[in-house]
């Protein structure tokens, strides 16, 4: 089961690298925000899988919760800023 | 490996499949709204499946309840942030892509 | 300046979420001995909940809930709790922030007194971090101009 978690985490890490392409080269700030939000969602699951690999899920679940909260707050803030400034 | 751990593998693989689909959509779709459509729906379902799988693997404990709490939080937060960012794009005057 | 969002979805979701975020922040402060977290991290989460309220409900309603004056009082009182516990240890005859001597007034064994003293210090740090984070965000979002000042200036000509 450890090997399964290891491969799953590596696969998710590869997906994060693919999303990072859109985050770096994506045309405009909106594409970048969408890519960063997607990366944050994947990172949340990667953190929990790391917890299972290191046998310390009770620690990593708290970090994962805070990561989800800050990802949500960051996306809402950027959306609010773009909506107020009125230009992309 | 007991029955709970075996039961969690389909959930985790399903979550990985939807993460993969959302990432392919983010990379390959033509404009911003379609890309957000792919990641908004795909990532929500994928993160729900993954977290349910992990909590099933954990069994009956306080950690499993906290993982389910993260799942409920993401179920509320992910559609809301997708809505906020697409609304900002609409307000900024970004036109949707149409097939020529 | 941050206006009221005229979007019902974001406001409703924030209204549902904020109490649970604050309870989670208190859990992080209280449970800092056994899991990652503590005063600073819990204070940051508590401040993030207030910042979420300011972003979604606008500046006016956030000022009604938590004004600059209240934020200043909270940040100072958190520091007072922190240094007060430290000075109490000093008065009782040991080093600054050496909680073992608190067992004289708490009537418990020294190990338990250390745990309680650390908890008190963490609560003080959490209150300070929450108030300072909210105050920094408030200053950035108003740009240093407080609306009441503008009204007074307009009235005076």
Neighbours of B58 (CB within 10 A): 23
What percentage of chain C has pLDDT greater than the value 90?
A: 39
A63 touches chain B (CB under 8 A): no
A chain contacts of residue C37, beta-carbon cutoff 8 Å: 62
pLDDT digits (tens, 9 = 90+) for C99-149: 888 888 888 888 888 888 888 999 999 999 999 999 999 888 887 776 666
Distance (Å, whole) CA B48 – CA B68: 9
Contacts of A53 (CB under 8 A, 6+ apart): A2, A5, A6, A9
Query: Is 70 exceeded by the pLDDT of residue B73?
Result: yes
C chain contacts of residue A66, beta-carbon cutoff 8 Å: 28, 41, 45
Per the structure block, which two tokens stand in for B45?
A: 């379902």
Q: Do A79 and B20 touch (CB under 8 A)?
A: no
Per the structure block, which two tokens stand in for A5?
A: 């978690």
Distance (Å, whole) CA C126 – CA C124: 5
What's the confidence (pLDDT) of residue C38?
A: 84
What's the confidence (pLDDT) of residue A34?
A: 92
Among candidate residues C119, C114, C14, C117, the one with its CA nearest the CA of residue C62: C14
Query: Is 80 exceeded by the pLDDT of residue A88?
Result: no
Question: Where are the domains positioned within chain C?
Answer: 8-144
Query: Is 60 exceeded by the pLDDT of residue C5?
Result: no
The distance of Cα A65 from the centroid of its chain, to the nearest Å, equals 12
Per the structure block, which two tokens stand in for C137?
A: 């965000």
Distance (Å, whole) CA B81 – CA B97: 21
**B4 close to B59: Cβ distance less than 8 angstroms:** yes
Query: Is 80 exceeded by the pLDDT of residue C155?
Result: no
Query: Is 80 exceeded by the pLDDT of residue C63?
Result: yes
3-state secondary structure chain A: CHHHHHHHHHHHHHHHHHHHHHHHHCCCHHHHHHHHHHHHHHHHHHHHHHHHHHCCHHHHHHHHHHHHHHHHHHHHHHHHHHHHHCCC
The answer to whether the pTM exceeds 0.90 is no
Per the structure block, which two tokens stand in for B99?
A: 């097939």
Per the structure block, which two tokens stand in for B26?
A: 């983010």
Taking the CA of residue B100 and the nearest CA in chain A, the distance in Å comes to 20
**A71 close to A41: Cβ distance less than 8 angstroms:** yes
Chain C CA closest to residue A72: C52
Q: Do B76 and C10 touch (CB under 8 A)?
A: no
Query: What does the longest C-alpha to C-alpha distance in chain C come to?
Result: 66
In the 8-state DSSP scheme, what is residue B100?
-
Q: What is the mean pLDDT of residues A58-82?
A: 91
Label residue C83 by pLDDT band (50, 70, 90): very high
ipTM here: 0.90
């Amino acid at each position: 089961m450890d090997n399964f978690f290891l491969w799953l985490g590596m696969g998710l890490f590869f997906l994060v690298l693919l999303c990072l392409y859109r985050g770096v080269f994506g045309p405009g700030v909106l594409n970048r925000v969408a890519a960063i939000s997607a990366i944050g969602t994947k990172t949340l699951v990667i953190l929990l899988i790391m917890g299972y690999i290191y046998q310390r899920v009770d620690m990593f679940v708290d970090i994962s919760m805070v990561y989800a909260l800050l990802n949500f707050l960051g996306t809402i803030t950027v959306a609010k800023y773009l909506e107020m400034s009125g230009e992309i | 490996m007991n029955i709970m751990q075996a039961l969690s593998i389909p959930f985790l693989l399903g979550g990985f499949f939807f993460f993969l689909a959302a990432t392919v959509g983010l990379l390959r779709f033509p404009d911003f709204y379609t890309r957000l459509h792919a990641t908004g729906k795909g990532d929500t379902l994928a993160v729900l499946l993954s977290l349910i799988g992990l909590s099933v693997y954990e069994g009956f404990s306080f950690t499993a309840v906290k993982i389910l709490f993260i799942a409920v939080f993401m179920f509320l937060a992910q559609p809301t942030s997708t809505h906020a960012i697409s609304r900002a794009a609409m307000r900024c005057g970004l036109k949707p892509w149409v097939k020529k | 300046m941050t206006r009221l969002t005229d979007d019902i979805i974001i406001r409703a979701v924030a209204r549902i979420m904020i109490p649970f975020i604050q309870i989670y922040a208190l859990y992080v402060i209280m449970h800092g001995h056994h899991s990652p977290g503590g005063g600073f991290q819990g204070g940051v989460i508590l401040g993030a909940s207030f910042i979420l309220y300011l972003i979604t409900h606008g500046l006016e309603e956030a000022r009604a809930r938590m004004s600059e004056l209240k934020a200043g009082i909270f940040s100072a009182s958190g520091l007072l709790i922190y240094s007060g516990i430290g000075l109490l240890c000093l008065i009782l005859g040991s080093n600054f922030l050496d909680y073992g001597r608190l067992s004289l007034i708490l009537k418990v064994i020294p190990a338990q007194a250390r745990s309680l003293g650390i908890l008190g210090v963490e609560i003080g740090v959490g209150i300070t971090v929450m108030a300072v984070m909210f105050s920094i965000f408030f200053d950035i979002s108003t740009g240093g101009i407080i609306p009441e000042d503008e009204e007074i200036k307009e009235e005076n000509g």
